[in-house]
Chain A
Amino acid sequence: MRRLEPESLGEHLDALYRAAWALCGSREDAEDLVQDTFARVLARPRLVRGDERAYLMRALRNTFYSRLRTASRRPQTAATLDEIQAPDPRVTQRPDQAIEMAELVQTISTLPEDFRLALVAVDVLGLSYAEAARALGTLEATITTRVYRARQRLVRALSAPAPTGPAHTKERDLREGSELERRLTATDVTR
């Protein structure tokens, strides 16, 4: 058992941000989620048993749930034109990579919650299966199965042909230019 030093949190920030992005499906929600998580963690001295990143994953998950609960209690309102934000300028620097990344994250964010959390813990945060099991309060074998299923669904969803019809034109356009598709095809040894 040791004290969590605020200075050490910087080492985990990039990974936590990616984890939050994959959980939320949007960069802005991810930034808010990470800010809230850090605010909670830094609100008082913390004693950590085991891996710091696993502790932060637990904090991120708890904050994610409490934000969901808060959001579900908030009255739903339609956004006005002024509230709609322009596309993130960061994505214009490498358009192909940005589309690929956005598509990947979007697909992860649609996975069932248990699968998504396991995938984020192991494949995005880089926790061991045992650490992920402790962080998520379940068995290592359960995490293994969830990671396996999550990866399988992810690949199948990204490999699926784009839906046709006018309502899906944008998604189809994104896919057609995507490096992701080329990479999937190139590594598909079974076809």
Chain B
Amino acid sequence: MTQERDPDQPQLARLADDSLPAAEREQLRLRVEGSPPLAETYAEQQRALTLLRAFDEPAPAQLRAAVLPAGRSQAGRGAPAARRRPALALRLVAGVAL
């Protein structure tokens, strides 16, 4: 079981994503190496990051076409014609007309 109240624990998030200043990073890394509970918690942070970094789904073509004027001509070809809602541009034009 990990130490739930260790004040260093939240910093493990930043150690894992490499956003700690160098001096703090080295200090914390030494602590992690000397503490199995901290090492276990650090490994969890790394696993989460691995999963989240693999989440690289691009926006669907029809969404790009709907919200971006420049993308409309490119993404419009071959994109599903039916959307559950009118395209953003259409709604904006309708709003102006009203």
Contacts and interface: CB of A to CB of B under 8 A. Distances in A.
| Interface size band for B | 35 or more
A32 B55 contact: no
Contact of A187 (B11, B19, B50, B59): B50
Interface SS majority for chain A: helix
Contacts of B40: 190
A66 interface: no
Interface residues of A, number: 52
A155 interface: yes
B48 A152 contact: yes
Interface in A1-59: 6-7, 9-10, 13-14, 16-18, 21-22, 27-28, 31-32, 34-35, 38-39, 42-43
Given A129-B14, A155-B44, A28 B59 contact: no
A35 B44 contact: no
B52 A123 contact: yes
Interface of B: 9-14, 16-17, 19, 36, 39-41, 43-60, 62-64, 66-71, 84-85, 88, 91-92, 95
Interface of A: 6-7, 9-10, 13-14, 16-18, 21-22, 27-28, 31-32, 34-35, 38-39, 42-43, 90, 100-101, 104-105, 119, 122-124, 128-129, 141, 144-145, 147-152, 154-156, 158, 180, 183-184, 187-190
